A and B are shown apart, each in its own frame.
Chain A
Amino acid sequence: MIRVEPRNANSAIFSYGVPILSAVVALILASIPLWLAGAPVLISYVEMAKGVFGSKFAFSEMLTRATPLMFTGLAAALAFRAKLWNIGAEGQLYLGAIAAVAIGTGYIEAPAFILLPLIIAFGCAAGSVGMVVPAILKTRYGADEVVTTLLLNFIIIIFLQYMLEGPLKDPMGLGWPQSSPILDQGMLPPLMERMRVHSGLIIAIVCALIAQFMLARSVWGFKLRAVGENVFAARHAGIKVNRTILGAAAISGALAGMAGVSEVAGLKGYLTSDLSPGFGYAGIIVAMLAGLSPIGVVISALFIASVFVGADSMSRAMGVSSYLADLVVSTSLLCVLIGGFFGRFKLVRTNLEGKN
């Protein structure tokens, strides 16, 4: 007989080792689809590494890709800590982006030091609303937030298409469904000359630091963790559970909304309906790989972004489908889940009477 028993203490080796090992295992497992696709495996890995570390430009592209993943990863990590399953970061990202172009494309003419904070505030508020609504449906009516946030993603993308064909459509856009460009003074300043990486990255890292501090040291963070770990005990201790959940929802949605602001006001400049290639869903993987730690999110976002950027350039060079990146990323999630199990539990061999 084999029995599952919890480990006595969370060892540091496991909490750091498991995610790193999972990432490595996922990368190694990628050799199977590479081999099936008929690509030379080792050369493909070299191409992948070159795609990230091969040049200053490649590296800056990776940082650019990591920026929205940090925001959506933080959005998922904070919500999941409170056992609030926000799977709607994709939709909230678009709400943030819609709000950003709604006020940033000339509706308000103001200098940068007014306009930029306004765009960020509106974007975050819009994302926030996108998560608070399903959170209210959960606390008021008991409607499962997983299903509502997932379905809201579809509704918001349809709403986005309406906005891009109607109210937000660029009159100079030659009929394409895209928004007008954001005013120059509304754009997040770039970090390096002639590179696409922008100051959204700095904002994301600062957000992660603040989130780490709040979660570990503040009363708010304590309440959030208490609700996530044991809702009955939290209620018994006098914590207002619903209010804590709504607070977590508001912050989580705001961070996802910020991902949209950063993409549209930091990178693209205008809004199209393909702004995000699934950053919201990838954020869940980022958060899980980080063990729901905000600082960890920064690191795991860099890893996931490296996989995406590296696999993109490898697939161009080797003629392998770029869906390989999604395959590696989703495999790493499954690996980290399994690894996390062995971090928390140990298998104990027992004799027939069930004693140790």
Chain B
Amino acid sequence: MIEIFQILLTESFWAASLRIATPLIFGVLGALICEKSGVLNLGIEGIFVAGAMAGWMAVWLGAGLWGGVVVAAIAGGFFGLIHAILTVPLGLSQHVSGLGVTLFATSASYFSYRTALPNVSSPPRIEPFRPLEIPILSELPFIGTILFQQTALTWLALFMVGLVWYVMNRTGLGVAIKAVGDNPNSVDAQGLSVYGLRIGAIVVGSALMALGGAFLTMSAFDAFFFGMVNGRGWICIALVIFASWKPGKALLGALLFGAFDALQVRMQTEVGAKVPSQVFLAAPYVLSIVALVIAARRAEYPRALLTPWFKGQR
């Protein structure tokens, strides 16, 4: 037990927690926007892969880091648009369409990567985002190391939490998105476009998810690997239920998850000899299932989630 407390007191532990949480923050926010509009987006896992690949590829081709971020977001928006067309105007099964998008985005990313780089033994590296050193603030003892040595993408993720909260709770657009996920008929009666709102929410949400992927290749690592997303998208789908579709709680959920993941890595070195390493590897997935089971009972799903809506049909 003492070891755990010692770990919890280190700066590097909390810095790592925030770093691990960053892609999840993007992913949970993206999933939240989609689901608030009434559409489950299981394309998330593939969109993470597409964002990771497209962002990395753009930087590798010389687009610059922020150019890569934009390219990743566009790639995510593109695959989101496919899901949106299939699920909104066509009203197809959101489960199957989402899985289809995941398989399509993943295979398209892998195929493009292999086609662009047919014969590389070790993946080529890019110069990733550097930690933002803010004068004076970075010098602060505990907080300075944790907050002010993160990369710009982590700051962007934190900013997005505030932005999504503001749009959802303080603007007419947010009211409309929430209404279209609860009662599309009422939105239609107001003369607003149900299709437009849902498609827009899915495209924007998917662009955010892709930034989560881009963080992996452009900040956490400096190259693209097959299988590097490793279920992070699915974890976000569990976390968004845990967060009951609230941006603040989404941040909290992602941070708790990041802290737990950082802790298990450190525990592994402490007690690794006694416990098989796989116990630690499996822990994040088990934790996600536990969080889902706890949250599921009292989860207030957007009322029209998974229900297609057709114009002119009541």
Contacts and interface: CB of A to CB of B under 8 A. Distances in A.
Interface of A: 1, 3-4, 33, 36-37, 85, 87, 137, 141-144, 146-148, 150-155, 158-159, 161-162, 166, 281, 284-285, 288, 319-321, 323-324, 326-327, 329-331, 333-334, 337-338, 340-341, 350, 354
A85 B104 contact: no
Contact of B118 (A4, A36, A137, A319): A319
Contacts of A323: 107, 110-111, 114
Contact of A147 (B101, B104, B234, B312): B234
Nearest to B295: A143
12 contacts: A85-B95, A141-B293, A142-B296, A281-B103, A321-B115, A323-B111, A326-B111, A330-B103, A334-B82, A334-B101, A337-B90, A341-B90
B281 A141 contact: no
A327 B107 contact: yes
A36 B237 CA distance: 34
Contacts of B107: 323, 326-327, 329-330
Interface of B: 42, 82, 86, 89-93, 95-97, 99-101, 103-104, 106-108, 110-111, 114-115, 118, 230-231, 234-235, 237-238, 241, 276, 278, 281-282, 285-286, 288-289, 292-293, 296-297, 299, 310-313
B111 A144 contact: no
B103 A285 contact: yes
Closest 4 pairs between A and B when the two form their complex, measured CB to CB:
A321-B114, A326-B107, A330-B103, A162-B278
A350 B286 contact: no
Contacts of B238: 147, 151
A148 B312 CA distance: 36
Given A323-B107, A327-B107, A330-B103, A146 B96 contact: no
Contacts of B281: 158
Given A85-B95, A87-B99, A161-B278, A154 B313 contact: no
B100 A141 contact: no
A152 B107 CA distance: 22
Given A4-B91, A137-B293, A152-B289, A162 B311 contact: no
Given A143-B289, A151-B234, A3 B86 contact: no
Contact of B100 (A158, A326, A334): A334
Given A152-B289, A334-B100, A158 B278 contact: yes
A337 B99 contact: no
A4 B103 contact: no
B97 A151 contact: no
